[in-house]
Structure 1
């Protein structure tokens, strides 16, 4: 067994201030009863706070804004008159007058064939004109006489330089075709040869 001095040294090292043996120690002094009573923990102080009386201020209820609701007014509606739909006015399309075409044609006879050829310069053919030389080559290639005979004056369009007379493409076609038909009735021919775009457009039935 440990002696008292060594036991206290152990207790001091373990920071034990008070201790009780489990059994009665031999040669130990009797224990004092006041040491065996555990001290009661101190009671926590009760802090009393003064009661604060809540004074509720009686506030007057706020007045709500008055909303005026418009009342339906009694009004006598005038009797509505029946709507009469206007009849649609027929729109007549405006006729656009086309500008008159400009050309010059010459009627020639080569054997039993009539030739209606365009005059590029607007004047009658001259012996050295390139268009006339080309026409003679075409007649020789077709087996016709290369010295054609001139029939009448050249047909120049427009006929009138001033005035409100219609001289558009349709009027030009009617005039040229009437002129050719009159020449065909005067003398018989085997065929009618149209040379040049104006001749094909206004003397023939093609719309070139």
Structure 2
């Protein structure tokens, strides 16, 4: 917990917190709401790049703590901010459903399925980005490219899927259709939880081999 507290206070780049507020973009009419998740992926990259320039990882490695705790702290740091972004967006999603109930012509409406897909996107990016980064604890750009490409592909699929024949229920905010979307949300939660666990285990093992 001390490592996480230190990361929240010192290591996190300001954009990590600013991008939480971008969850409010779900209130914008006819907007590709998957961009909210793109910003949620961009913020960890900026923070890790900022940490590289300030020797944050090197500094923490000099402290009398296990390397795996450094990895765990970073995993929790990004999980806290990503989930905070989603929670922050919920009131705006409700306002969107009340005042903008029409279908989003650009992509997926903010609804229950939207959050399920978002958690899946974060799970994919989180796993690839952090496991790749902790192979060297230095190459942030390479790790980001490897992680963001599949994440963007999933974002595009998320926006296109509701406009395919027979998938109108994914884009709906009607009560019955929202119930049909619950398995998507459940799948997203499961994927995110599994990703967090695997990322922590694999990245920690890789970081143990790194000679700083």
Please, what TM-score do these two structures have when normalized by structure 2?
A: 0.26
More strand by share: 1
> Could you say which structure has the higher helix fraction?
2
Structure (1 or 2) with the larger CA radius of gyration = 1
Higher relative contact order (CA 8 A, sep 6+): 2
